[in-house]
């Protein structure tokens, strides 16, 4: 059975899917067609149901919960892993609402957490996550929300952390931050969903068994990133929740969904299941 599989070229995703797409593990009767794109592109495609299996930001999954459901493996959750609000100079948090802020995509968890922390912010400029530091440095925007490897490089460029948006979520909700998930089309048979879920877990376990070696596949898609930064990226975003959400991971996602329901004015009687 052939399935399209979308994920980002970031080290955490290529680390998870390396063994699966390169057949370093037995994929049985499954053949995966990898499609690597920025997560916001994947988010946008989800409304079209374009891919069979895909990485999604949680708000994008919530908005397309009639088409996709969350697998237990492959998610990005944790503590101290949230997006950062940065600027060329320190800004009083009371002034953030008056700033122009670069954000890595409208449907991203980063955008959702920015609105959660600063609900009066309206002047946002959506752009590719890797362009945000440059936009701040060149004063095209006042502030930027950074994710992925930029967490490890912004200080080297003379930028300053204004607020850790993940910390705001953790303190108010007393729960890990759910950033992204691996979703699969609901129309697929349950045994297909379960087998794909098991294969993703097996692929990740294979990568962990060979860590701290960073595979050529991860390096290939990390472009000019230093190997030390690749490892920091993997170690921050790939953890026990990535292997299996379990009850704690599901509860964290459900907390985020309740906040999302309030923002989007979705009736709490919506009984659409989020998980396989």
The predicted-structure confidence for 213-259, as pLDDT tens digits, reads as follows 999 999 999 977 899 999 999 999 999 999 999 999 999 999 999 99
- Token pair in block for residue 178: 């759910």
Residues annotated catalytic, as ranges: 148
pLDDT tops 60 at residue 269: no
Q: Which CA distances in Å does 262 have to 17, 35, 259?
A: 34, 33, 5
pLDDT interval class at 270 (50, 70, 90):
low
pLDDT at 183 over 80: yes
Cβ pair 93, 86 in contact under 8 A:
no
Contact by Cβ (8 Å): 196, 204: no
Q: Is 2 helix (H, G, I), strand (E, B) or coil?
A: strand
Q: Phi and psi for 119 in degrees, rounded to 5?
A: -65, -15
Closest CA relative to residue 3, chosen from 34, 44, 28, 39: 34
Over range 78-87, report the average pLDDT: 94
Distance CA 105, CA 90 (A): 24
For residue 268, name the pLDDT band (cuts at 50, 70, 90): low
Domains defined along the chain, listed by start: 2-78+177-264 (3.40.190.10), 84-173 (3.40.190.10)
Q: What is the pLDDT of residues 90-138, one digit of tens each?
A: 999 999 999 999 999 999 999 999 999 999 999 999 999 999 999 999 9
Are 203 and 14 in contact by the 8 Å Cβ rule? The answer is no
Q: How confident is the model at residue 271 (pLDDT cuts 50, 70, 90)?
A: low
Is the per-residue pLDDT at 72 higher than 90? yes
């Amino acid at each position: 059975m052939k399935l399209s599989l979308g994920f980002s070229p970031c080290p955490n995703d290529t680390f998870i899917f390396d063994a699966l797409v390169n057949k370093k593990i037995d994929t049985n009767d499954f053949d995966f067609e990898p499609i690597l794109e920025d997560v916001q592109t994947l988010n946008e495609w989800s409304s079209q149901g374009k891919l069979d299996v895909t990485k999604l930001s949680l708000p994008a999954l919530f908005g397309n919960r009639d088409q996709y459901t969350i697998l237990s493996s492959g998610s990005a959750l944790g503590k101290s892993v949230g997006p950062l609000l940065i600027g060329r100079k320190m800004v009083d948090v009371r002034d953030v609402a008056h700033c122009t802020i670069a954000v890595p995509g409208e449907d991203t968890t980063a955008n959702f957490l920015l609105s959660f922390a600063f609900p009066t912010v309206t002047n946002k400029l959506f752009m590719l996550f890797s362009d945000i530091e440059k936009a701040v440095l060149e004063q095209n925007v006042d502030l930027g929300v950074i994710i992925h490897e930029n967490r490890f490089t912004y200080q080297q460029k003379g930028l300053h952390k204004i607020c850790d948006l993940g910390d705001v979520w953790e303190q108010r909700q007393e729960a890990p931050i759910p950033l992204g998930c691996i979703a699969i089309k609901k129309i697929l048979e349950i045994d297909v969903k379960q087998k794909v879920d098991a294969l993703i877990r097996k692929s990740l376990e294979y990568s962990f068994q060979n860590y701290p070696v960073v595979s050529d596949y991860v390096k290939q898609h990390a472009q000019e990133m230093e190997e030390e930064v690749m490892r920091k990226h993997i170690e921050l975003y790939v953890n026990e929740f990535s292997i299996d959400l379990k009850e704690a991971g599901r509860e964290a996602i459900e907390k985020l969904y309740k906040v999302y329901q309030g923002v989007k004015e979705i009736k709490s009687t919506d009984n659409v299941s989020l998980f396989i």
